[in-house]
Amino acid sequence: MAQSQQARPLEGITILDLSRVLAGPYCTMILAQLGARVIKVEMPGTGDDSRAFGPFVNGKSLYFSCLNYDKESIALNLKHPDDRATLEELLGIADVVIENFRPGTMEKLGYGWETLHERLPNLIYGAASGFGDTGPYSRRAAYDMVVQGMGGIMSMTGQPKAPPTRVGVSIGDLGAGLYLTIGVLGALYKRKAGGGAVKVDVAMLDCQVALLEDALAAYLSTGEIAQPQGSRHPEIAPFQVYTTADSYLVIAAGNDHLFSLMATAMARPDLLENPKYKTNGLRHANVDQLETDMEVTLKQKTTGQWLEILNAAGVPCGPVNDIAAVTKDPQVAARNMIVSIADPKIGKLQVAGNPIKLSGVPERTGHAAPPEIDADREAILDLICEKV
């Protein structure tokens, strides 16, 4: 039956989600936003490890909650025969199984890709792990911090000559979750095109390498090793955070025209006449002096005042928002990027919304609260009966 024009892309797709904590659940959250039904299989008693991660409201983890709304939960012990039988029935009705165990774990449980693919040739298998199914580190455990360090991003983040600095979010996990989502969608398309089901093998370390922008190619061709630059861009100036009378301000005047608009808006024609600032190359070569020169003026007004002046002049700029300010931003609200969910324990749970806006496809409203462990057992078991 053809999908309706208003249907979200993955309506009718069932995801069996054995993953926990972050990379896997982030992927299945996006798949749920795209319309899939996500059935979370959790260990009886404790469930997803992230249920134990703070902060908590009335005993319920906000960390778990922001990743697992709009999903259903069933508790199954993958070593117990009855529960294994249920799992196998669920595998039989699923389109995709997702897991982020260490490579080898699913094989030990008897659910490795080879076994499953032989038994269920249409089942797509999506896996995220620290290092992937192959290579010398394959069986090692990894955490976000480990791959942020190994993958090079930490060596490029931070103030110059300061200690190594972590990206403030778990980009090791989130990067893998995004790439796993891309791989699973590619696999779903391939299956729909008649190409059969595949296993998608995504490694956190590989994804870090894929996020290095030009740093790899630059080093391998020129020998230059990328260094942390604080808030500065490695090639462009002015393109960084500046200090104002009350806080900070990003100015990104990436070419001569924008630099000229900026200098005019700041009532600083001398910046345009200074031979040291004639071209982007010269501005970048004299970036310290340019910062000092600009801040003489920028420190005379507040960030709010400068935003008004520079935005009116068409100069790309913005505040350095803390999380409280992000939640109050009118653009964030207009784009529906914070959604409210009524949760029986938390009350009003507010989480990030779906950044993928599709024309003619209404955004989901009335989200399901993040499930308690095993909360949806009956509905899930009914699904088996319906589908078989």
Find the shortest distance in angstroms from Cβ 4 to its own copies: 6
Q: Which of residues 291-350 bind its own copies (CB under 8 A)?
A: 311, 314, 316-327, 329-332, 334-335, 337-338, 346, 348-350
Find the shortest distance in angstroms from Cβ 262 to its own copies: 13
DSSP string across 113-174:
HHHHHHH-TT-EEEEEESS-SSSTTTTS---HHHHHHHTSHHHHSSSTTSPP---SS-HHHH
- Residue pair 337/352 in contact (Cβ under 8 Å)? The answer is yes
Q: Which of residues 215-274 bind its own copies (CB under 8 A)?
A: 215-222, 224-226, 228-233, 235, 239-241, 248, 250, 252, 254
350: which strand partners?
340
> Which of 137, 265, 268, 297: binder of its own copies (CB under 8 A)?
137
Q: Which of residues 156-175 bind its own copies (CB under 8 A)?
A: 156-159, 162-171, 174-175
Report how far residue 318's alpha carbon sits from residue 269's, in angstroms, rounded to the nearest whole number. Answer: 22
Q: What is the DSSP letter of 254?
A: -
Q: Is 270 left (phi over 0), alpha (psi -120 to 50) or beta?
A: alpha
Our CB check for its own copies shows the closer of 94 and 380 to be 94
> Which of 44, 186, 246, 378: binder of its own copies (CB under 8 A)?
186
- Secondary structure (3-state) at 276: helix
> Which of 120, 211, 373, 381: binder of its own copies (CB under 8 A)?
211
- From 345, 303, 305, select the one nearest 325 (Cα to Cα): 303
Report how far residue 37's alpha carbon sits from residue 15's, in angstroms, rounded to the nearest whole number. Answer: 6
Q: Which of residues 348-367 bind its own copies (CB under 8 A)?
A: 348-361
Find the shortest distance in angstroms from Cβ 152 to its own copies: 4
Q: Which two tokens stand for residue 387?
A: 């589908």
- Secondary structure (3-state) at 206: helix
Find the shortest distance in angstroms from Cβ 300 to its own copies: 19
DSSP string across 53-120:
PSPEETTEEHHHHHHHTT-EEEE--TTSHHHHHHHHHHHHH-SEEEE-SPTTHHHHTT--HHHHHHH-
**Total interface residues for its own copies by CB under 8 A:** 157
- From 203, 47, 224, select the one nearest 139 (Cα to Cα): 203
Q: Which of residues 97-136 bind its own copies (CB under 8 A)?
A: 113, 117, 125, 131-136
**Catalytic choice (80, 117, 233, 257):** 233
> Which of 78, 120, 209, 282: binder of its own copies (CB under 8 A)?
209
Window contacting its own copies (CB under 8 A); options: 83-91, 211-219, 265-273, 286-294: 211-219
- Residue pair 353/339 in contact (Cβ under 8 Å)? The answer is yes
Our CB check for its own copies shows the closer of 159 and 300 to be 159
Our CB check for its own copies shows the closer of 157 and 274 to be 157
Q: Is 314 left (phi over 0), alpha (psi -120 to 50) or beta?
A: left
- Residue pair 354/380 in contact (Cβ under 8 Å)? The answer is no
Find the shortest distance in angstroms from Cβ 32 to its own copies: 12
Find the shortest distance in angstroms from Cβ 322 to its own copies: 4
* Residue 284 annotated as catalytic: no
Q: Which of residues 43-102 bind its own copies (CB under 8 A)?
A: 53-55, 57, 62-63, 65-67
Find the shortest distance in angstroms from Cβ 122 to its own copies: 13
> Which of 98, 205, 237, 266: binder of its own copies (CB under 8 A)?
205
> Which of 78, 198, 309, 313: binder of its own copies (CB under 8 A)?
198
> Which of 196, 278, 289, 387: binder of its own copies (CB under 8 A)?
196
Does residue number 206 form part of the binding site for its own copies (CB under 8 A)? yes
**C-alpha pair distances (Å), 336 with each of 106, 198, 340, 364:** 38, 35, 10, 11
Active site residues: 233
